[in-house]
Amino acid sequence: MDFINIQNEDFNVQQQYDALSQSNTRDGAVVLFVGRVRDFNEGEQVTEMVLEHYPGMAEKCLEDIVAKARERWDINRVRVIHRVGLLSQSDQIVLVGTSSPHRGSAFAAAEFIMDYLKTDAPFWKKEISDQGERWVEARNSDETQKKRWQ
């Protein structure tokens, strides 16, 4: 019941929600997270962004993270989509969706997957602003977020 995909194309939130909820009378709770390109990062005007990934490893890493989430919480359907390539301001980057009989499990699993994705999955962002190109630096706060689950 896992759908994990790395793609150039945009995704539609309703379609992802439908895939989590349709013909699913068991799960009363659905949680969706969407990460989007913000207009600023450390003060520069970001206009575009390039997302690079490590093909093969990125997919495996996302599968491993979802498997870990399944060990910890009672979740039934999981969807993870990560876009790569050239993205513009406000574009959707990533979606994580979970369904569960219990809202606590759906929330926790979705946040866990995002926290591990941020620190472990081989994706890299390069921001393109009026100042030129700049590889995004990893943030310590992401490590801190992950450590909450350990």
Partner 1 sequence: MNTITVKFFARLREQSGVDAMDLEIGDMTKLSELIAQLQDQHQDWTILQQKNLMAAVNHSMITDDCLLAAGDEVALFPPVTGG
Q: Which does 122 bind (CB under 5 to 8 A by kind): partner 1, a copy of itself, none?
A: partner 1
Q: Which does 61 bind (CB under 5 to 8 A by kind): a copy of itself, partner 1, none?
A: partner 1
In whole angstroms, what is the distance from residue 88 CA to residue 76 CA?
33
**Token representation of residue 149:** 């689950």
**Token representation of residue 87:** 């993205």
In whole angstroms, what is the distance from residue 52 CA to residue 126 CA?
8
111 is a site residue for a copy of itself (CB under 8 A): yes
How many helices, marked H, and strands, marked E, lie in the chain?
Answer: 4, 9
Cα four-point dihedral sign 100, 104, 107, 111: negative
In whole angstroms, what is the distance from residue 92 CA to residue 12 CA?
9
Of 46-65, binders to partner 1 (CB under 8 A) are 51-54, 56-57, 60-61
Q: Which does 119 bind (CB under 5 to 8 A by kind): partner 1, a copy of itself, none?
A: partner 1
Total length of the chain:
150
90 vs 150 by CB, closer to a copy of itself: 90
Here's the x/- map for a copy of itself, 7-26, by CB under 8 A: it reads as -----xxx--x---x--xxx
Using CB under 8 A as the criterion, which residues of the chain lie in contact with a copy of itself when the complex forms? 12-14, 17, 21, 24-39, 89-90, 101, 103-104, 106-107, 110-111, 114, 145
